[in-house]
Amino acid sequence: MEDLANKYNLNFVGSIHKPIDLKDFDHIFTLVCKNKLPELKSETQQLKIYEIIRALENDDIEVFYQPQVKLRNRKLVGVEALCRLRHPSLGLISPDKFIDKSEETDLIFHLTLNVIDKAFTDWVAWYNQGIDITLSINISPYVLKFSEFTDLFLTKVAELNIPKNKICLEVTESIIEDNHEVELEALSRLAIQGVLLSLDDFGTGSASIERLHRLPFDELKLDKSFFQHSVTNRTQYDLIKSCVAMSNALDMHVVAEGIETAEHWKVAEQTGCDIVQGYYICKPIEASNISQWCYQWKHRVD
Ligand code: C2E
Ligand code: CA
Ligand code: CA
């Protein structure tokens, strides 16, 4: 319950264990009465719309890439494109501070096209250097509502001659809930064309397993929260194993996100995950640093 309360940003003051002792109850009750409402956390505060428009106009959206490595042979198999905003006074801003705001307007559509253009150009440059990897791109459900998105996307892929099965679109699990028919149709069209689909942040929402078959997902990304407590918590460990078994039964491979330590890597390996991604392997880096990272990774011993 403590984990859950923190996850939902509740104002958590403490816990009491069963059997409940009246003194403990009294203590916690006093704490609750004394505790003020939490202030709005500045780390989740969003940029202003005009700041996002200015960034798009000034070409201040930058794309970083986080390597994804196959567990079986430690080989680099893909990268996830993660955008940042270069702010004139605040420096590099993380997407958590401008994606939600962009989704309130058409800005998310323009932002996504901007990320796609940059990521496609980077993919071609890597390919020309002999680095042949899958490029994963985050797609907000709001973008899929734009009827022109699918054709625009496929035209860009064709213009640059990128094989469609080298592009993977990551969508969060809310997409398979009800009332997303338009978005599901757009994704189905892209899947029929051969573009790969990934179900992102699996385990954080309320996606029911029964609905997974609504789209032909190629990949399931297990949310980082699974691994954060997996080393000490047997239930988490068993949950990962069950997710892997379910994914394999549905013909999906599993990416373990948020691998921060050698212990997390071991859990991913023992539970049967296919691919790992996280700070232990590499933080998100600029496109030009990928080839140097590849060299270092090949020679890394740990
Ligand atoms: P996400 O898709 O779940 O991406 C993974 C996030 O986890 C990234 O945060 C990444 O830097 C972070 N991460 C990677 N390894 C580790 C680790 O070992 N430990 C921990 N604690 N975190 C790790 P980032 O780059 O700040 O992105 C946050 C979210 O913003 C992304 O979450 C994604 O939902 C969204 N986002 C990023 N770029 C785009 C984009 O181009 N379009 C859209 N629609 N959303 C984007
Ligand atoms: Ca993602
Ligand atoms: Ca994720």
The enclosing domain of 248 has a CATH number of 3.20.20.450
**What pLDDT does residue 39 have?**
43
Quick check: is 41 in a domain? no
pLDDT at 30 over 80: no
Say yes or no: CB of residue 198 within 6 Å of ligand 1. Answer: no
- DSSP designation for 195: -
**What pLDDT does residue 40 have?**
40
Coil, strand, or helix at residue 137? strand
Quick check: is 40 in a domain? no
**Is the same domain home to 16 and 157?**
no
**Is the same domain home to 173 and 221?**
yes
Query: Closest ligand to 284 CA?
Result: 1
Phi-psi group of 101: left, alpha or beta (phi > 0 → left; psi -120 to 50 → alpha; rest → beta) = alpha
Pocket test for ligand 1, best of 82, 116, 135, 229 (most atoms within 8 A of CB): 82
Burial label, 204 (beta-carbon count in 10 A; 0-12, 13-18, 19+): middle
Query: Closest ligand to 198 CA?
Result: 2
C-alpha 137 – ligand 2 centre gap (Å)? 7
Question: What residues make up the domain containing 75?
Answer: 49-301
Q: How confident is the model at residue 8 (pLDDT cuts 50, 70, 90)?
A: low
> 113: part of which helix (H) or strand (E)?
helix 107-128
Q: How confident is the model at residue 288 (pLDDT cuts 50, 70, 90)?
A: very high
**Is the same domain home to 12 and 109?**
no
- DSSP designation for 31: H
Closest to 91 measured CA to CA, from 60, 66, 112, 53: 60
- DSSP designation for 41: P
pLDDT at 256 over 90: yes
**Is the same domain home to 15 and 163?**
no
**Is the same domain home to 62 and 112?**
yes
**Is the same domain home to 201 and 82?**
yes
Q: How many domains does the chain have?
A: 2
Mean pLDDT of 162-179: 90
**Is the same domain home to 91 and 18?**
no
Say yes or no: CB of residue 236 within 6 Å of ligand 1. Answer: no
**Is the same domain home to 126 and 166?**
yes
**Is the same domain home to 25 and 54?**
no
Inter-residue contact 283 to 293 (CB < 8 Å): no
Q: How confident is the model at residue 229 (pLDDT cuts 50, 70, 90)?
A: confident
**Is the same domain home to 55 and 196?**
yes
pLDDT digits (tens, 9 = 90+) for 37-79: 444 446 668 999 999 999 999 999 999 999 999 999 999 999 9
DSSP string across 138-185 = E--HHHHTSTTHHHHHHHHHHHTT--GGGEEEEEEGGGGSSS-HHHHH
Instruction: Output the average pLDDT for the chain.
Output: 91
3-state helix, strand and coil shares in percent for the chain, rounded to the nearest 5: 45, 20, 35
> Do you find a cis peptide bond into 19, omega within 30 degrees of 0?
yes
Quick check: is 111 in a domain? yes
pLDDT at 32 over 90: no
Mean pLDDT of 200-225: 85
**What pLDDT does residue 7 have?**
66
**What pLDDT does residue 37 have?**
44
**What pLDDT does residue 177 have?**
77
**Is the same domain home to 259 and 176?**
yes
pTM over the 0.95 mark: no
The lowest-confidence range among 27-31, 78-82, 126-130, 294-298 is 27-31
